[in-house]
Structure 1
Amino acid sequence: MNINFEYHNVEASNRLEEYTKDKLEKLYHKFQMIVRADVFFKTENTSSDKTGMICNIRLSVPGPRLFAEASHEDFIGSINESVSDLEKQLTKKKGKMMTY
């Protein structure tokens, strides 16, 4: 699996990349159909202190791409929610693939 990182209004961070790679590799071991992951980190000015650090993850898999986005007060929370959403989508996709 190939992982690409992009940063918008955020400085590149090895710690964030390592944390995200660890989470995505665990996902890959569970679902080997993942070909590539594109991870986007960005910040936005929001009215709430609990949002603004956004993590988007797009997975290339057979068929349509899967996408998840989360906004929290820190990137770790955003990464965790995005990966959790993708795991649900992958489970659903794997179930559909097995029935055919």
Structure 2
Amino acid sequence: MKVNVQAVNFNVDKKLIDFTKEKLDKLERFYDKIVSSDVFLKVENISEKENKIVEIRINVPGDDLMVKKSGKTFEEAVDLCSSSLERVLVKRKEKSRAHI
């Protein structure tokens, strides 16, 4: 799967990119028709501690799945996004099996 990581208003380090790609590669176990994914990493200038925002858009045939989560660290937010996408992809796969 092709993973495109974009950082908004800051420079992202290689460890975070590798962590994100590793998490998204695991999603292929749940749904094998994933074409690509776009990851947007943002930092909001607010007083709250959870100001790291991660948006992940996954391209699957016929649709795009989008998840947006925030956390204290980017790793935490990516983890939340991947687990949420995991549930969505499992549900989508079950629906496609029901139509066969």
Q: State the TM-score, normalizing by the size of structure 1.
A: 0.93
Note the 1:44-83 alignment, pairs <5 A.
44-49=44-49, 51-83=50-82
The percentage of counterpart residues that share the same residue type is 35
d(CA) in 2 for partners of 1:12 and 1:75?
Answer: 10
How far residue 28 of structure 1 moved from its aligned partner, in angstroms, is: 1.3
What is the CA distance between 1:90 and its match in structure 2? 0.4
CA shift, 1:33, in A, is 1.1
Q: CA deviation at 1:13?
A: 1.3
Match of 2:9 in 1: 9
- The higher-RCO structure (CA 8 Å, 6+ apart) is 2
- Asked if 1 retains the 8 angstrom alpha-carbon contact of 2:30 and 2:90, the reply is no
Per the TM alignment, residue 63 of structure 1 is displaced from its structure 2 partner at its CA by: 2.1
After TM superposition, what 4+ stretches of structure 1 lie above 4 angstroms from structure 2? none
Structure 2, unpaired ranges of 5+: none
1:45-100 per-residue CA deviation (whole Å, 9 max, x = no partner) reads 12311x11011100000222101111111101000001011111101111111111
Number of matched residues?
99
Residue type of the partner of 2:44? E
- Using the alignment, how far apart are the partners of 1:72 and 1:29 within structure 2? 25
Instruction: Output the amino acid matched with 1:14.
Output: K
Q: What 5-or-longer segments of structure 1 have no aligned partner?
A: none
